[in-house]
Amino acid sequence: MSILLTGDQLQDEYLQSGLLENKIDDDFFTNLIVNKLDGGSSVNEDIDTEHSADVLTDSSERVKSNSNIKKITEVESRSFVNILKQEKVIKSDGKLTISGLKKIRTDESKRVLVKKVEKEGIDKQSAEAMIDQVTVRFDIPKPIDRSKRTNVNLTNRDNPYLKDLWNKICHKVNYRVKFSEDDLIEDIVNGNNPLSEIRIKKMTAVQTRARINLLDHRVENHIVEQNTERLTWSKLPIIDVAKQIADGSGLTRQAVVRMILQTQKKNTGFIDKIKMNPTLFAQRALNNIKAHQRNLLNKSLVYVQNGETWSQDKLQPFNAANNTLWKVPERGFKKTLFEQIATQSEEENNFAESLINENKIKYFLKLPNWFKIPTPFGNYNPDWAILAETNDVECLYFVVDTKTTLEMSDLREEEQARINAGRQSYKAKGFEDVSFEAPIKVIGDIEM
* CATH number of the domain to which 315 belongs: 3.40.1350
**Percent of the chain residues past pLDDT 90, beyond the cut:** 36
Are residue 161 and residue 269 in the same domain, yes or no? no
Q: Are residues 252 and 351 in the same domain?
A: no
Nearest to 76 by CA among 21, 125, 35, 3: 125
pLDDT tens, position by position, 215-247? 777 778 788 888 888 776 666 666 788 998 998
Considering the domain architecture, whether residues 330 and 263 belong to the same structural domain is answered as no
Examine the domain organization and report whether 113 and 163 are in the same domain.
no
Same domain, 323 and 374: yes
* Same domain? 336 vs 389: yes
User: Which position has the higher pLDDT, 3 or 269?
Assistant: 269
Range of the domain at 390: 149-170+310-445
- Into how many domains does the chain fold? 3
Task: Decide if pLDDT at 36 tops 80.
Answer: no
Residues whose CB is less than 8 angstroms from the CB of residue 152 and which lie 6 or more positions away in sequence, other chains included:
317, 318, 319, 320, 325, 338, 339, 340, 342
The answer for residues whose C-beta is within 8 angstroms of residue 140's C-beta and 6 or more apart is 19, 101, 102, 104, 105, 134
Which of 3-12, 218-227, 377-386, 413-422 is predicted least confidently? 3-12
Burial of 203 (0-12, 13-18, 19+ CB in 10 A): buried
pLDDT in tens, 91-148: 888 887 767 766 777 777 888 888 888 888 888 888 888 888 877 666 555 555 556 8
pLDDT band, very low/low/confident/very high, at 447 (cuts 50, 70, 90): confident
Measured in whole angstroms, the distance separating CA 327 from the mean position of its chain's CA atoms is 30
pLDDT at 261 over 80: yes
Mention every residue, 6+ apart, whose C-beta is less than 8 A from residue 350: none
Judge if 257 and 384 occupy the same domain. Answer: no
Say whether pTM exceeds 0.85: no
Same domain, yes or no, for 70 and 153? no
pLDDT digit string (tens) for 181-214?
899 999 999 998 999 999 888 777 788 888 888 8
Q: Is residue 11 part of a domain?
A: no
Residue 430 has pLDDT above 90, yes or no: yes
Choose one of 249, 269, 299: the last residue of a domain. Answer: 299
Work out the pLDDT band at 153, boundaries 50, 70, 90: very high
Quick one: pLDDT at residue 368? 93
| Rounded Cα distance, 426 and 305, in Å | 9
H or E stretch at 132: helix 124-137
**pLDDT computed for residue 288 by the predictor:** 92
What is the reported pLDDT for 414?
82
- Whether 305 is in a domain gets the answer no
Q: What is the mean pLDDT of residues 39-61?
A: 36
Q: Are strands 171-180 and 2-6 parallel, antiparallel or unpaired?
A: antiparallel
| Residue 3 pLDDT | 44
Confidence of residue 297 (pLDDT cuts 50, 70, 90): confident
Whether 321 and 387 map to the same domain: the answer is yes
pLDDT digits (tens, 9 = 90+) for 365-412: 999 999 999 998 889 999 999 999 987 667 888 999 998 888 888 888
What's the average model confidence in pLDDT over 144-157?
81
Q: Does one domain contain both 72 and 56?
A: yes
Each residue of 52-87: b (16+ CB within 10 Å) or e? beeebeeeeeeeeeeeebbbbbbbbbbbbbebbbeb
Q: What is the pLDDT of residue 27?
A: 83
pLDDT higher than 50, residue 48: no
The letter for the amino acid at 348 is E
**Strands 318-321 and 325-327: what pairing?**
unpaired
Tell me if 273 is assigned to some domain.
yes
Q: Judge if 363 and 439 occupy the same domain.
A: yes
pLDDT at residue 14 greater than cutoff 50: no
Asked, for residue 5, whether it belongs to a domain, the answer is no
On whether residue 213 sits in a domain, the answer given is no
Lowest-confidence segment of 9-18, 125-134, 164-173, 325-334 by average pLDDT? 9-18
Does residue 273 sit in the same domain as residue 321? no
Among 299, 321, 345, the domain boundary falls at: 299
pLDDT for 15: 36
Task: Please report which residue ranges of 15-106 form alpha helices under DSSP H.
Answer: 52-57, 60-65, 74-86, 98-103
| Spatial distance between the Cα atoms of 421 and 154, rounded to a whole number of angstroms | 31
The answer to whether residue 6 is domain-embedded is no
